Structure 1
Amino acid sequence: MTEDCRPRLLLVDDEPANLQILRHILQEDYRLLFARNGEKALQLAADESPNLILLDVMMPDVTGLEVCRRLKATPATARIPVIFVTALSDPQDESGGFEAGAVDYIAKPVSAPIVKARVRTHLSLVRVDELYASRLQIIQRLGRAAEYKDNETGLHVVRMSHYSAILARAAGLGDRLADDILHAAPMHDVGKLGIPDA
């Protein structure tokens, strides 16, 4: 028996018919979880860590906007992308959805090609973020490895990283490039790992 490696999506809507439509569109490519209210959605998000959430806005008790805010305020679920799927199509409603933390907004009635394309796009962005985070961890671990060679080097590596970022900003390179330099600077002493103690 092989494990199902398809991405896991949480579909949240208080109307069963809407969940059925989304199930029909997405079931071939994704593993699906379902919730018919906000509290159940929050519980499933925490317990199952879905890769993406499709969330209705207008639900009784806890609205989709509140669910999204609570997801984003909780470290364990903050990175899960949320796409609102709603009948509210006014620009103000859309703006409110983005302010709550959603990454996208799809108006009902939904179009199958649009739902599939948006889900695929946001899942690929998640993979890019995960790849960046794993590369950053490798760089940080190599920097830490240099600390074992020379105790002074560890503190030096941290200082040099921060000094490099400060200098980059002062030189007008911008926050993004300064952050890249902050994270890359620890690599400058990694060569010490290959130098024999003698």
Structure 2
Amino acid sequence: MSDFQRDNDWQRLVRDEVLAPGFYGSYATDGRYVFIDKGRLASTLQKRFAVDTIVQGRDGAALCIEEKIVRWPGYEYRAYALETESCTKPGFESDGWMRYGQADYLLYAFMRPDRLDVHLIDFPKLQAWFGLNEDRFERFGPLPTFNRSAGRKVPISEVKAAVPFWTRAVYPDPTSPHFDELFPRVAA
């Protein structure tokens, strides 16, 4: 199994067992949300538009969300990793989700020992602000991954000051089947 697949499986587990009931189930109108995992259009929505989940908003609008879930450890999270280049391999270069994404919101979740700290960011406004300020931020990558992605480390404090932004702590259900695996410090 590749590192990407292992990370993707972990993110889906966190999404399904913590984010879905604790965040989407609470905030989507009548709990209506769809994960874009499988189906003919799923790959297109993910790869062309950076959409992982669609939720129904209060006014009936379909809101598209790009998700990033960051593993523990790393308790003092200070920056977002905003991907500007999805692939940097010669002959295969491609833009990252900060360039091509069309989602309404970027959901950045940071794993803590006992919860997820969820940041919901207005994605079009983040893209516009980032486009004007990108050169100010430290580059990261190319990463030692298959695609060798790259981007910028952007301080959370600067995003909070510039872009509409909401936060929420989401606590796991201790009866979920993978609770001990996802939150070993709490389960002990």
- TM-score normalised by L of structure 2: 0.28
Question: Larger Cα Rg: Structure 1 or Structure 2?
Answer: 1
Structure with the greater relative contact order (CA < 8 A, sep ≥ 6): 1 or 2?
A: 2
- TM-score normalised by L of structure 1: 0.27
More strand, by proportion: 2
